[in-house]
Chains A and B, each alone.
Chain A
Amino acid sequence: MRLLEIGLFAVRGVTANKLRSTLTTLGILIGVASVILLLAVGNGASTAVQQSIAGLGTNILTISPQRGGGGNPSAASSSKPLTVADATALADRTEAPDVKSASPVSSTSATASIGGISYSVPQFVGTDPAYFETTNSAVATGNLFTDDDVAQGRKVVVLGATVATQLFPAADPVGNAVLVNNIPFTVIGVLATKGSSGSQDGDDLAVAPLTTVQNSLTGYGGLSQIVVQATSADALPAAQAQATTILNGRHRIGIGQTADYRMLSQEQLLTTRTATTDTFTVLLASVAAISLLVGGIGITNIMLVTVTERIREIGIRKAVGAPKSTILGQFLVEATMLSLFGGALGVAVGVIGSQFTIAGIKPVIVPSSVLLAFAVSALIGLFFGSYPAGRAASLRPIEALRHE
């Protein structure tokens, strides 16, 4: 009995019942494809989140005040607010060579109105012109305000796209006056649409010179934020260190004491978000594991049925003198062909399916998942395709023949 003959028997066995072979292949195909696709979707989602965070800019530091810290531990009230002087010190070329700019930000919510229309702006930001570049804000129409506007405390405002459409549904806002908390401001520009990041609408804001906002809206207390831009993404750690040194010096924070401010880089934000998407990936991975299990049980089922159905055939083959090893070989080759073919098709379907956008997510294939799904399915198919056949081949021919 040559190997070729065993192979031919296997081919004949596979092609003899096309429906059965197709169903077996389909079972393996679905098992493999679903695992690859599910993991690709999970991976795609987490990649998308990472890219959207990376798009925010990786060379930005956000400094905000924090209660509870302070130079003197005995006095809780000793925490100093962030001031414009802090921002100026941070932008010092010699003290902080890796800092490109430091924009003081004083923001509040305010009500803007014109004619009969009134709109509550959640973020009315007072800052300096460098803020626009730091936050990747481009002007759509009109102009941005200048350092001179800040110095003079002119009542000018640049509107975000959302605010602009709310207040001026039809007209061009540039050149018009709006009342902000009943104080008249002149609209000099409208920002280009930035889109929303997460749940926050990035266009629902208005930006005015810091001096004007402090003078008329927030008062001269502490700043809400200082936004620091490093010279490059690589210089960010250095910039962070320099900024920390300067602020600690100015706020008299000693070693081991809690700072009265909080410094966050986009990278730290990224880490936080990544942790969230990791949870998502784990969730999808467990769904994939379950589908692999279900797929595996499906393969087991159809393989067992296939072999059980053919125990009589095994009996006939034994009755005409087939040795056990030959029968075993035939079923092993059959199972191998079905498993490999089904597995390969499953990989193909999984890979092709990953090219499409699923529920707004562009799937990204995890290479190891392809290997895992293929190997697990093929091994299950092999085992349950040949082990019961081996068992049947060990029966006496008459027992196999009587099997119903």
Chain B
Amino acid sequence: MSDPVIEVRELRKTYGSGDTAVHALRGLNLTVERGEYLAIMGASGSGKSTLLNILGCLDVPTSGSYLLDGIDTAEFDESRLSLLRNRKIGFVFQSFNLIPRTTALANVELPLVYAGVRRAERRRRANAALELVGLLDRAHHAPNELSGGQQQRVAIARALVTSPAMVLADEPTGNLDTGSSREVLGILDRLNAIGRTVVLITHEDEVAAHASRTIRVVDGQVAGVLV
């Protein structure tokens, strides 16, 4: 417990206000160690997606603290948060979220462009990331020319191209068939094997089985360690 990547204390997130307020997170505590492979499970509406969005700095908590690599994100303004998203976090969405009409290579290069990496270096690293997910031969295809599984692999390549401290995946296999799911999970396993921290949300036990630790979120709180 000496080197946590994620340290969350008393995290609360409330949508709306007054009588109609929805409490998505109610004082959640969570610590994720470097190199861990964590699966988050929970019924829909339990707050697990809200948690992951906050961990990915895509959303901000109503109260509570979130330390990423020991830095309190509450002190960050929008422009520094975008820097944080760029350098420390790789996010994989259930619905892939690739930029349409743009080649796989350009999609993977995107975070590097915003990081200010030079063109030649960018190309080299994007190709390496595509090679890692086994899609180097599809580098010049647009998302609509790729299957769902291939799109998700491009999205994973995009998430890991900046060598982030952690990869967050929100039901990455939710929209995929069994074969594609297996490929995607295989890539995540390999990422974890080379030392990347991976946090993923899933509904399925067999997906969770890939993780080194599983937690269950119930009513905006961590219910218990399932192992």
Interface residues of A (CB under 8 A from B): 1-2, 5, 9, 12, 16-17, 312-313, 315-326, 394, 396-398, 401
| Chain B: CB-nearest residue to A401 | B97
- A313, B102: Cα distance in complex, Å: 11
Contact A398 B53 (CB under 8 A): yes
| Chain A: CB-nearest residue to B56 | A319
Contact B101 A323 (CB under 8 A): no
- Interface residues of B, CB < 8 Å — how many? 31
Contact B101 A319 (CB under 8 A): no
Contact B59 A321 (CB under 8 A): no
Out of B59, B99, B113, name the residue touching A5 (CB < 8 Å): B113
Out of B59, B85, B100, name the residue touching A320 (CB < 8 Å): B85
Known: A318-B82, A398-B53. 9 other contacts (CB 8 A): A313-B99, A315-B97, A316-B97, A319-B93, A321-B111, A321-B114, A321-B162, A397-B59, A398-B58
B22: Cβ under 8 A from any A Cβ: no
Contact A324 B101 (CB under 8 A): no
Query: Which residue among A325, A394, A397 has the maximum number of chain B CB atoms within 10 Å of its CB?
Result: A397
Out of A12, A16, A320, A397, name the residue touching B114 (CB < 8 Å): A320
The 9 A-B residue pairs with the shortest CB-CB distance, nearest first, are A321-B86, A16-B101, A398-B58, A397-B58, A320-B111, A321-B85, A398-B59, A323-B82, A322-B114
Contact B102 A397 (CB under 8 A): no
Contact A324 B82 (CB under 8 A): yes
A325: which B residues are within 8 A, CB to CB? 79
Contact A323 B59 (CB under 8 A): no
| Interface members, chain B 90-127 (any A CB < 8 Å) | 91, 93, 97-102, 106, 110-111, 113-116
Out of B85, B86, B87, B102, name the residue touching A16 (CB < 8 Å): B102
- What is the CB-to-nearest-CB distance from A286 to chain B, in angstroms, rounded to a whole number? 42
Contact B85 A397 (CB under 8 A): yes
| Interface members, chain B 36-72 (any A CB < 8 Å) | 53, 56-60
| Chain A: CB-nearest residue to B108 | A320
| Chain A: CB-nearest residue to B52 | A398
B115: which A residues are within 8 A, CB to CB? 321
- What is the CB-to-nearest-CB distance from B70 to chain A, in angstroms, rounded to a whole number? 20
- What is the CB-to-nearest-CB distance from A307 to chain B, in angstroms, rounded to a whole number? 15
Whether A396 contacts B99 in the complex (CB less than 8 A), given A320-B110, A321-B82, A323-B114, comes out as no
| Chain B: CB-nearest residue to A18 | B101
CB contacts between A and B, total, < 8 Å? 74
Contact B110 A317 (CB under 8 A): yes
B99: which A residues are within 8 A, CB to CB? 313, 316-317
Whether A320 contacts B98 in the complex (CB less than 8 A), given A1-B114, A5-B113, comes out as no
Contact A319 B58 (CB under 8 A): yes
Contact B100 A321 (CB under 8 A): no
B196: Cβ under 8 A from any A Cβ: no
- A321, B80: Cα distance in complex, Å: 9
- What is the CB-to-nearest-CB distance from B79 to chain A, in angstroms, rounded to a whole number? 5
Q: List 7 A-B contacts (CB under 8 A).
A: A1-B113, A1-B114, A9-B113, A315-B97, A317-B99, A317-B110, A397-B59
Out of B56, B59, B83, B102, name the residue touching A12 (CB < 8 Å): B102
Out of B57, B83, B158, name the residue touching A323 (CB < 8 Å): B83
B114: which A residues are within 8 A, CB to CB? 1, 317, 320-323, 326
B93: which A residues are within 8 A, CB to CB? 319, 401
Contact B58 A321 (CB under 8 A): no
A1: which B residues are within 8 A, CB to CB? 113-114, 116
Contact B58 A320 (CB under 8 A): no
- A394, B79: Cα distance in complex, Å: 10
| Chain B: CB-nearest residue to A4 | B119
- A320, B83: Cα distance in complex, Å: 9
- A17, B101: Cα distance in complex, Å: 8
A313: which B residues are within 8 A, CB to CB? 99-100
A401: which B residues are within 8 A, CB to CB? 58, 93, 97
Whether A322 contacts B82 in the complex (CB less than 8 A), given A16-B102, A396-B59, A396-B60, comes out as yes
- What is the CB-to-nearest-CB distance from B90 to chain A, in angstroms, rounded to a whole number? 9
| Interface members, chain B 112-150 (any A CB < 8 Å) | 113-116
- What is the CB-to-nearest-CB distance from B162 to chain A, in angstroms, rounded to a whole number? 8
B82: which A residues are within 8 A, CB to CB? 318, 321-324
B78: Cβ under 8 A from any A Cβ: yes
- What is the CB-to-nearest-CB distance from A249 to chain B, in angstroms, rounded to a whole number? 89
- What is the CB-to-nearest-CB distance from B17 to chain A, in angstroms, rounded to a whole number? 17
- A358, B84: Cα distance in complex, Å: 62
B84: which A residues are within 8 A, CB to CB? 321
Out of A16, A394, A396, name the residue touching B100 (CB < 8 Å): A16
B101: which A residues are within 8 A, CB to CB? 16-17
Contact B102 A319 (CB under 8 A): no
| Chain B: CB-nearest residue to A322 | B114
- A213, B108: Cα distance in complex, Å: 100
- What is the CB-to-nearest-CB distance from A323 to chain B, in angstroms, rounded to a whole number? 5
Query: Which residue among B78, B83, B87 has the maximum number of chain A CB atoms within 10 Å of its CB?
Result: B78
- A322, B115: Cα distance in complex, Å: 8
Query: Which residue among B57, B93, B113 has the maximum number of chain A CB atoms within 10 Å of its CB?
Result: B113
- A363, B79: Cα distance in complex, Å: 54
| Chain A: CB-nearest residue to B116 | A1
| Chain A: CB-nearest residue to B83 | A321
- What is the CB-to-nearest-CB distance from B77 to chain A, in angstroms, rounded to a whole number? 10
- A326, B114: Cα distance in complex, Å: 8
- A322, B57: Cα distance in complex, Å: 13
- A1, B58: Cα distance in complex, Å: 21
- A394, B115: Cα distance in complex, Å: 19
- A397, B170: Cα distance in complex, Å: 15
| Chain A: CB-nearest residue to B90 | A320
A5: which B residues are within 8 A, CB to CB? 113
